[in-house]
Every structure is written in structure tokens, then in C-alpha cells.
Amino acid sequence: MIDLKRLASSRRLLLQGAGGAALSTALAAPALAQGGPRVARVWGEPGPYGGVFVQGMNEWAQRNNANIRFEIEQIPWDGVTVKLATDLAARRPPTLISVESPIAYQLAAEELLEPVEDVNTAIRARERLVDGFTLEQFGAWRGVQYAVPVHHQPCLLVVQQDIVNELGLGDPATWTWDQFANAARTITERKPGMAGYTMALGRNLCADYHITQFIWQAGGLTWDPAAQFRTTFDSTATTEAFDFIRRLHAFMPRAAVEFSFLQVVDQHVAGRTGMSAYWGRTMGRAAEETPALFQNMEYYLNPAHPGTGKRWSWTDINGWIIPRRDNAFIKEAKEAITYVSNSVDWMVRYSQSLMPNVGPVFKDVATAPAMLAHPFYQSKQRSLDVIFSQSVPHACNTGLEMKRGVNPLAGVAHGRSVWAQAVQRMLLNNEQPKAAVEWGHRQFEGIRRDNARMLAG
């Protein structure tokens, strides 16, 4: 049985930066102080983990350059590009940004980022990466590295194992799409008041992520990196994925067409769904709020497409990027990132600040005794292995497009909810899957046409 009091206490200490054991990092040469105290702004996604990393950066500053203070600013997932454009126009860019790789690819293609090959060399990023990842996945463009790896988050199948066992639905690890749909139907029919499956279908970023998983599993693409990123959304595979989503919709909560991130978690943690698509945060929330439900929760790779056999999952492949234009702290930011990234202690704190949502990307962090001492490993070892390591070979996102290449147009489309709007046309307007896909194809072709300048050369 997991010790939830110990878990809560550990998390509070983590956020306070307690436990300050001496770090075994080889320090970079100190940056020279230049005048009075200066603030270096750091953008991070909503959540405690960015703040933990910045605590480590400020430890570097206290030891090496007391005239600098790093401050965290929380930026919504889909707000980075617009806000960065505004701040660049004002000649006041952030020093450092934590982003998902599609945005990193776009900003690199726009020539807005500082190369970070020197940092990745200093932290031995390529050698330390968890098996299955490549350094280029985090944010490389035309052979140059623009992102320093920091974490990963796979979107997987979350299951209430007691319900699956009770209804004799088999092993979710071996399910294909048909067995998965049958399980969702059976739960809906035999568990009154409970949805069989919940995913986000609102006009938002979460829905985009959930929808694209099915498209890739069926063999579809939005753009084809092998053909100058030609728009390929209008395909038989994409139409098949839309038709499957329509099939699953009958076993979802009626309000799923409005759901985004938090609503999916709320449904699962409140016991209103037998299965859902989500990242590790569902487990963390359940441990905090509904321990009995947590005890029966398990994570699995996404069900395999019956034809392709693929189990692709949308994975937040996150890295640090450094805006190049008008950035007064590039040297200091690189030294501070190197300091924290080379510290197993700080990187364990970073991952454990939102356990198990923030997966470690370095092998020495993933296997560190302090990492394995987290209470979740006592009762959820199998699920944590799926989240942190077994999912990595199946990691994908719109930037990678099934690992055939990197795609700057994915960043431009990031946050526009075209994938979600196309599915909503099918579910709310009663359009046929093919017609909804064709509408989406036209939108993506417009995005490609407007941004073709990034593909030149």
C-alpha cells in the first residue's frame, strides 16, 4: 500500500528545494558579473517542474554569478509562439523557454533560436538519453541542435484494472482497436452511469493530441516530410481513424465534445469512466484524491491498429530552447542549464515534482536510487515502466510525423485545433468522416501555403 502522507510530504519538500545534498556536478566556469542584479525570465508550462529547474539554476547563480536571478513565468502550452512574437517585438525576450518539440522546430526554422550543441555536449546528452530517444527529437533542424532535453510525457491508455478483470475483457496490453472498442462498449452497457472510455474532443490542444494518436496508428499523416512536407491529411488512413473515433464516441461521456485536459482527468479520478486517454497526471491526481481508485489504476501502451500494428502515442518531448534575438543572458543560461542537467539530484527533483507526469530523459536519472525510492514504485512499478521506458519506442508528435522527419509546420499548426475542429464537424455537424477529413485537409494546405518560406533552401 502506498504511503500517501509520505508522498505529500516528499512533494512539499521538493517544491521548497529541501534536502540540499551536495551536488556532484562539475561546474562551468563562472560568468562575469556585469553591474547590479538582473532578472532572467524563464518560461515554463503550467506545473511545478519548471520552477524546480529554475531553483537549480539559481543555485548555480548563487555560486557563480550572484548578479543574476532566474524567475519562472508560467505560459500556457499553446501560448508560447504568440507571446514570444510580442516580446521579441518589444525587444524583451525571455532568456529560456521550455517547449514541446513541434514549437522548437518551428522557431528554429524561423531562425529565432540559439544553437545549443555546446550545452548538449557538456551534459553528454546523446550518451545519457533513455534508450529509444534521439537527441534530434527534442528540437534539431537541418543538422543543428536547438533544444536541450529535459523531460517526456506519453499519452497512453489508462485503465481501471478491477473493472476490466470483473468483466472478463482480457489483457489490455494485447488489445487491438476492435478489442478496445468492445471493452468500451461492455463497460458502458454493464456499468450504469459509467463511460467506457473518455478522451478530449473539444476544440483544444488536448483533443488534437488524442486525435492524432489514432491517425498515426492507422498510418495517416498530416504532412509528409519525405515530400517537402506535402499535405497528406486527406487519406484513407485518416478517414479510418475518424470513423473509429465516431465509433468510440458512443461509449464516451456526452460532454466529451467539450472536454480538454482537466475534464478528462476529472472524469477518471471521480470514477466516471472505466478507461481514458491521458498522461501520468491522472495517476498522480488519483493518488492524492481517490486512493481506492488509484490502487486499481494501470497504464498500457495504446491499443494496436489491427492492420499496421502501430501503437503510436502523442508524447510531449520537451526541451529547453534559448531565444537568440536581444537575449542578454545566453552565456549565463547555457552555464546554468549545464549545471542543473548534469546534476542527477536536481533532475530527480524535477521529475518527481509532478510524478509520474514528467518522465526522466536521462538513464542515470531514471535509474537513480532517489528516483526509484519514490512511493509510486512500491505499488505501480509495471505502469511506471510503461510510462517512462516502454512507451519511448512509440513516442510521436506532429513535429515528428511518425519519425520520418521533423516538421516546422507542426509548430505553426500547434494550438489552432484544426484536428479537433475536423472531428467536431463529424460529431456535431453529422458530416461523414471523409467530408470532415477533406475540410481538415484544406485547412492544413492553407497553413502549408502560408508558411512555405520555411521549407525553402
Per-residue pLDDT of the chain (457 residues; tens, 9 = 90+): 445 444 444 433 433 443 333 333 333 333 444 456 799 999 998 889 999 999 999 999 999 998 999 999 998 767 788 888 889 889 999 999 999 999 999 999 999 999 999 999 999 999 999 999 999 999 999 999 999 999 999 999 999 999 999 999 999 999 999 999 999 999 999 999 999 999 999 999 999 999 999 999 999 999 998 898 999 999 999 999 999 999 999 999 999 999 999 999 999 999 999 999 999 999 999 999 999 999 999 999 999 999 999 999 999 999 999 999 999 999 999 999 999 999 999 999 999 999 999 999 999 999 999 999 999 999 999 999 999 999 999 999 999 999 888 999 999 999 899 999 999 999 999 999 999 999 999 999 999 999 998 887 6
Instruction: Give the HSE-up count for residue 146: Cα atoms under 13 Å, Cβ half-sphere.
Output: 28
Query: ∠ at Cα 77 (74, 78), nearest 5°?
Result: 120
Per-residue pLDDT, 457: 60
Per-residue pLDDT, 85: 84
**Residue 384: which residues within 8 A CB-CB, separation 6 or more?**
356, 376, 377
CA 184 to chain centre: 25
Residues 142-152 as b or e (16 or more Cβ within 10 Å = b): eeebbbbbbbb
Closest CA to 170 of 186, 154, 156: 186
Per-residue pLDDT, 9: 45
Per-residue pLDDT, 405: 87
Per-residue pLDDT, 3: 53
